[in-house]
Amino acid sequence: MTRRVLIGTAAAILAAAGVMPFAGLLRQQPNDGSIVSSANAADTVAPIYYQDPDGKPLYSLTPKNTEDGRAYRAVPAGADISFDEPEQPAEMTAAEHKADRKIKYYRNPMGLPDTSPVPKKDSMGMDYIAVYDGEDSDEGSVKLSPGKIQRSGVKSEPAELRRLRTLVHAPGTIQLDERRVSVIAMRAESYVQRIADVTTGSRVTRGQPLMEIYSPAVSSAAAEYLATITSKATAGIEPYGRGSRQRLVNLDVPEPAIAEMERSRAVPITIQWSSPRDGIVLQRNAVEGMRAQPGDVLFRIADISLVWATVDVAERDLGGIAVGQPVAVRARSYPGRDFNGRIGVIYPQVNKETRTARIRIELANDDLALLPDMYVDAEIDTGNPAPVLAVAESAVLDTGSRQAVLVDKGQGRFEPREVKLGRRGDGYVEIRDGLAEGDAIVTSANFLIDAESNLKAALKGLAEGGNAMGGKP
């Protein structure tokens, strides 16, 4: 009764898909009265899956080619579906074949982990199913019928050598290079006589005039220096002239201004101050006519042709970070554009609140697109260039304390294999132990196979326990 119901259900499913389940039945009856055989109708049925042309346990749900360019073999509906026990040779019927084997135990017809050493019925009156010698002889493996594999969507891929790219993403901001910032401050009491047309945000070049300064201390030192180099008594004595000139240098008088004094032999009323570097004026505090005390910052100029990106990397990712690694930085202001740089410094401290460490990346900024305090996102490639044995992450069955994969042994047999994992990246995980290159690994529907394997192990364990108790049901 149960067998007829299963066959009838299977026939209904296949008929709904446009496939007749039995070869002897007619598939179609064209309008012209001709009869189409089941063999001809099978040619028009779309394939359910594709198999390796060499018969290897490699499958695909879509058309696929092998590495040498050969197409996978299309398997049409009904060609590989088994809803019943495999047919026995003509000279031996199924009953005769089973009669030659010894029944080991009987299992629950509903798949529950309940076995009996003698025939019995469950609470619904269904007979327990006999399990014969050899049907569960594969230690540590599970065997599924081709029909169950087909319906479950099992896919396998070989374990291959791959280069894993492990990308670490970290947010940060653009900062000035501390080595490229200059300030202009007076070292003696001074007065600002005139200021060039320079404001905060202006771009200036090295040597460009910024302001004119009158300083009594500078004028006194300039007069002393000129008197020394023009006097007949001291003109040829090196220490006198060198000491007077050094006083001007100590007052931070620009070198071009000192050279002009030496050429003109005249003490200037005002000294022209110029920019010490190329850059952007970040701060202008100078105002015409103001009195500047020693140490007052009148201008602050920064060169932003090279900037820093300071990003915060999670503590768990620090093991793969090293000075000199290449980094791609993307600014939110310029989508689709990468600024390439390298890690310059890993700061020796972890933020105890955010559990992150600060990384400094040096970036070339020739077109001055990156501005201070701009938000950026860094992408650090911490992968090893050497290829490693890897499988798809979906192939790993991870219980927390145990990691395993299912090896496709062919002919519907699958063997759980415990493995040791390594780095992850690009959807793959490194296998450090447990597999060899070329092993076919299940990447899809592996949890269904694992559940079948666990059920089988439970049934086997209960059967052994029942026999040890003296054969009591």
SS (H, E, C) 427-449: CEEEEEECCCCCCEEEEECHHHH
Per cent of the chain over pLDDT 70 is 75
- CA 135 – CA 154 distance, rounded (Å): 22
Give the three-state DSSP class for 200: coil
Listed residue (224, 330, 324, 210) closest to 274, CA to CA:
210
Q: What is the pLDDT of residue 111?
A: 58
Report d(CA 275, CA 202) in Å as an integer: 12
Cα(3)–Cα(367) distance, rounded to whole angstroms? 78
pLDDT value at residue 9: 41
Across the range 269-281, mean pLDDT stands at 92
pLDDT for residue 212: 94
DSSP string of 288-331?
TT-EE-TT-EEEEEE--SEEEEEEEEEGGGGGG--TT-EEEEEE
* pLDDT number for residue 398: 82
- What pLDDT, on a 0 to 100 scale, did the predictor assign at position 198? 94
Is residue 434 scored above 70 in pLDDT?
Answer: yes
* Beta-bridge partners for 129: 107
Number of neighbours of residue 292 by Cβ within 10 angstroms: 21
Q: What is the pLDDT of residue 473?
A: 46
Confidence of residue 40 (pLDDT cuts 50, 70, 90): very low
Query: What does pLDDT average to over the chain?
Result: 78
First CA to last CA distance, the chain: 26
Bridge-based pairing of strands 297-302 and 160-162 is unpaired
Q: Report the distance separating Cα 449 and Cα 148, nearest Å.
A: 10
239 — pLDDT class (breaks 50, 70, 90): low
DSSP string covering 82-131? -SSPPPPPTTS-HHHHHHTS-EEEEE-TT--S-EESS--B-TTSPBPEEE
Question: How far is the C-alpha of 354 from the C-alpha of 346, rounded, in Å?
Answer: 16
pLDDT of residue 340: 94
Res 235: pLDDT: 56
Q: Domains of the chain, with CATH numbers?
A: 85-142+445-473 (no CATH), 155-166+383-444 (2.40.420.20), 169-176+304-375 (2.40.30.170), 187-295 (2.40.50.100)
Q: What is the mean pLDDT of residues 248-253?
A: 90
At residue 2 the predicted structure's pLDDT band, cuts being 50, 70 and 90, is: very low
* Residue 381: band (very low, low, confident or very high) from pLDDT cuts 50, 70, 90: confident
Asked if residues 466 and 119 have their Cβ atoms less than 8 Å apart, the reply is: no
The identity of residue 116, as a single letter, is: S
Q: pLDDT band for 172, please (50, 70, 90 cuts).
A: very high
Q: Tell me if 186 sits within 8 A of 293, measured CB to CB.
A: yes
CB 302 within 8 A of CB 279: yes
CA–chain centroid gap for 300, Å, is 42
Say yes or no to pLDDT of 175 above 80.
yes
Classify residue 105 as exposed, middle or buried by CB count within 10 Å of its CB (0-12, 13-18, 19+): buried
Does the structure show a pLDDT above 80 at 352?
Answer: yes
What local confidence, expressed as pLDDT, does residue 244 receive? Answer: 81
Is the pLDDT at 214 greater than 50? The verdict is: yes
Alpha carbons within 13 A on the beta-carbon side of 453: 22
Q: 86: which 2 tokens?
A: 């495999």
Residues 241-257 have a mean pLDDT of 85
- How many Å apart are CA 165 and CA 383, to the nearest integer? 5
Q: What is the pLDDT of residue 125?
A: 83
Q: If you average pLDDT over each of 47-51, 93-97, 258-262, 450-454, which comes out highest?
A: 258-262
User: Rounded to an integer, what distance in angstroms lies between the CA atom of residue 301 and that of residue 201?
Assistant: 9
User: Residue 364: what residue type?
Assistant: A
Nearest to 46 by CA among 74, 11, 82: 74
